[in-house]
Amino acid sequence: MSSPRIEVLIPHDEIQKRIAELGKQINADYGGRPLVLVGVLKGSFMFLADLVRHINAQVRIEFIGTKSYEGTTTSGQVQLTKDLDKPIQDEDVLLVEDIIDTGLTLNYLKHMLSQREPRSVKVAAFLDKPSRRRIDVKGDYVGFTIEDKFVIGYGLDFEQRYRNLKDLCILVP
Ligand code: IMP
């Protein structure tokens, strides 16, 4: 059996350019107000690390963990695996996601965090795969909209591998 080939879908440089644009947009929208960035583990860690370097405001970094995937298919259930360390009441919260796929994770997290009475909750997503949506949720800041392909790299995994690739890639069997 031959091993899968890895093809680059979006190269690192293009990713960095787009993230700088998102940072500008975020800075303009929040006008320097303090922000709580909530990274959704584990896929968002690289996007969050690059995005936060473009934000000109006082930021607090939090992480939240969810689980919904087995292999390349979603189980349809979202489970919390790690909660925030501190309250977010009266704070401007920016949820940072790797990808909006079915929308189940984002929908779950937006509802859950809204119940904690933040001042606002917005979403920054590195990727959007609108063709797979099962719940109507949208990102406020979206890096790239992609077709229905399973992607890896730049934080995203297939069975916990490939997160370290600097480009966004696809696996070709
Ligand atoms: P949801 O289907 O929108 O709830 O997405 C749940 C999570 O599945 C995402 O945050 C990703 O971590 C993961 N996921 C969805 N599509 C892909 C993909 O193409 N590659 C790697 N992970 C994915």
Domain count for the chain, please give it.
1
- Digit-coded pLDDT (tens) for 23-78: 999 999 999 999 999 999 999 999 999 999 999 999 999 999 998 765 566 666 88
CA distance 6 to 153: 10
101 is catalytic: yes
Q: Which run of H or of E encompasses 50?
A: helix 45-52
136 in any annotated domain: yes
132 in any annotated domain: yes
168 in any annotated domain: no
Residue 103 beta carbon below 6 angstroms from any ligand 1 atom: yes
- Digit-coded pLDDT (tens) for 87-142: 999 999 999 999 999 999 999 999 999 999 999 999 999 999 999 899 999 999 99
70 in any annotated domain: yes
Residue 21 beta carbon below 6 angstroms from any ligand 1 atom: no
At 122, which CATH number? 3.40.50.2020
